[in-house]
Structure 1
Amino acid sequence: MNKLIASIDINNFFKTLAVVFCAFLLFSCASKKISDIPYTKDSKALVASFPELNVYKTRKSKDNPVVIFIHGGYWNEGRKGIYGFLGRNFAKKDVVTVIPNYTLSPNGNYDTMAKEVAAAIKWTHENIEKYNGNPDQIFLMGHSAGGHLIALVGTNPKYLEDRDVVKGIILNDAAGLDMYSYLKKYPPTKNYNYDVTWTDKKENWKDASPIYFVSEKTPPIFMITGTKTFPSIISQNKDFIEKLNKFQPSVKINFQSKKHIPMMSQFFWPWNKNYKEIIEFIDIHK
């Protein structure tokens, strides 16, 4: 019996592996990846930094909406290459995807990172037409720390000369929406390089907090948050939506029964329902 069960498990494993491999081939063929494109000549980081981005374009058509995805990782880890599945899946659905790297702490702080995100948006607006994207249909998407960065760039007026370039913001379990309140309780230490990311100046903590810059000029926002994620993310997302509802009264948090990492890893599957909902959001606001 045990041998039979082991045989069945192995068979199921290889069947699953075959399905995943076929899906990978299908979605790889549906898009073209252009790698390691410099998007700024010189970042104002604490060290010399020349960040790059990847573009995933659909092979089928032109004039597609564009998603710029910013990864998470405590502001001190992560890389663009991990998220190729997102670019391929969006490209299959006729959405061009741009995935930048950015300078991580301790080599840069929140302001460095936000300025680089703004530079990636500027590059996309000026160049994405070459990759089948529509420069007038740019949306920002971010998970965790990446959610913080796109929310900050989309709300704090010092980062973008023209915020109308951004047609919408997609927050996936966004962290750091109110770093001022958080860091007053838990001052930054060397843990996760927070002492560099946020500095020891309280005025910077507020400057880094998107919740204090929400206004009538904030682009339309779509939010998904895990019910099993970190308590600080849940509470700050709720506070953020309360502030946002003064200007965008119909927006609500789409809660999902997931932890923090699964809120991102679920996008590996092209049939994940969030793709449909995000594309509906894009279609409304593009």
Structure 2
Amino acid sequence: MRYTIASLIIMSTLFLGGCSSKKIKDTTYLTTSIAKETSLPKLNIFVPKNIKEDAAVLIFVHGGNWNSGNKDTYNLLGRNFAKKGVITVIPDYTLSPAVSYDEMTKEVAAAIKWTQKNISQYKGNPNQLFITGHSAGGHLAALAVMNPKYGIDPKSISGIILNDAAGLDMKNYLEENPPTVKEDYLATWTNSPENWKDASPIYFLDKNTPPFLIYLGDKTYSSIITANNRFLEALKPLQPEVNLIHLNKKHVPMVTQYFWPCSNRFDEVINFIDKNKK
């Protein structure tokens, strides 16, 4: 898999045609470490080269099963969205087993709050803020916005874009598959059913939930397919126009497709952004 991603990065770079965006690297968004570690998670910002005032803003949260992943893997995703005129913010967050889902989500929420407060410095419009994530990142992005304990006003988020998101109903999954030390799941989710529900975005859907755009790979993991179908069923009464956009892809290609600037996904996401700008 590393070889495949590395090859995509090299080949995709050839399509960039020079510097079409400015990258602001390793910006600190936390004043103190939630995980009480010495190094604070940071974020990268990708700003369009010929940016207009009040540009829309997209926060991308990376995946990695809650115990792996790095913001710098997704530089091409950030540059490609910036090339389309969207300021893109990509944060790191502390991983399991050092922290649980709760601390991770607090950090993602802190990245959202930092963006709302500071993105105008880069000509971004804090009132046109969208959030997206792949796999575990989709879970953390949705939970940070939807669970009120994290302090994000859902009305301040213009839309949520899920890309083969995992963890949308962890309560249901963990009741059938109790967490163990395998994949650091016991550290991530704890052994408390109360926490499993607290960690599940599906239980926080309401009339204030931002609009959704949801992608699902037809060749992805069965647990992701099950959770996305359950999530859609719960979402439909609130957003009846929403459907899963099925793509004939496995889990990892669902995100690496954004390394290619000509992917049809960019037009779809931009259309969703334009439709839901406030």
Give the TM-score normalised by the residue count of structure 1: 0.91
Shift of 1:154: 2.0
AA aligned to 1:255 is H
Q: 1:21 to 1:173 in 2, by over 3 A?
A: closer
Residue 262 of structure 1 corresponds to which residue in structure 2? 253
Whole-angstrom CA distance in 2 between matches of 1:276 and 1:109: 35
Identity of aligned residues (%): 53
Runs of 5+ unmatched residues, structure 1:
1-15
Residue 105 (structure 1) aligned with residue 103 (structure 2): no
Give the TM-score normalised by the residue count of structure 2: 0.93
| Stretches of 4+ aligned residues off by more than 4 angstroms | 16-21
Whole-angstrom CA distance in 1 between matches of 2:274 and 2:246: 22
Whole-angstrom CA distance in 2 between matches of 1:154 and 1:233: 20
CA displacement 1:94-143 (0-9 Å, x = unmatched): 00000000000011110001110110000001111111211111000100
AA aligned to 1:55 is I
Residue 69 (structure 1) aligned with residue 60 (structure 2): yes
RMSD: 1.6
Q: 1:190 to 1:284 in 2, by over 3 A?
A: same
The one of 114, 132, 139 equivalent to 1:123 is 114
Whole-angstrom CA distance in 1 between matches of 2:202 and 2:13: 42
Greater length-normalized contact order (CA 8 Å, ≥ 6 residues apart): 2
CA displacement 1:143-162 (0-9 Å, x = unmatched): 00000011111211111242
Residue 22 of structure 1 corresponds to which residue in structure 2? 14
Q: 1:88 to 1:42 in 2, by over 3 A?
A: same
Residue 225 (structure 1) aligned with residue 216 (structure 2): yes
**Paired residue secondary structure (2:180):** coil
* Cα pair 2:65 2:136 within 8 Å, conserved: yes
Whole-angstrom CA distance in 2 between matches of 1:146 and 1:65: 20
AA aligned to 1:172 is N
AA aligned to 2:171 is Y
Greater alpha carbon shift after TM alignment, 36-45 vs 269-278: 36-45
Runs of 5+ unmatched residues, structure 2:
1-7
Residue 43 of structure 2 corresponds to which residue in structure 1? 53
Q: 1:112 to 1:90 in 2, by over 3 A?
A: same
Residue 40 (structure 1) aligned with residue 30 (structure 2): yes
Residue 12 of structure 1 corresponds to which residue in structure 2? none
AA aligned to 1:45 is A
Whole-angstrom CA distance in 1 between matches of 2:213 and 2:225: 15
Shift of 1:61: 1.9
* Cα pair 2:41 2:93 within 8 Å, conserved: yes
Higher CA-based Rg:
1
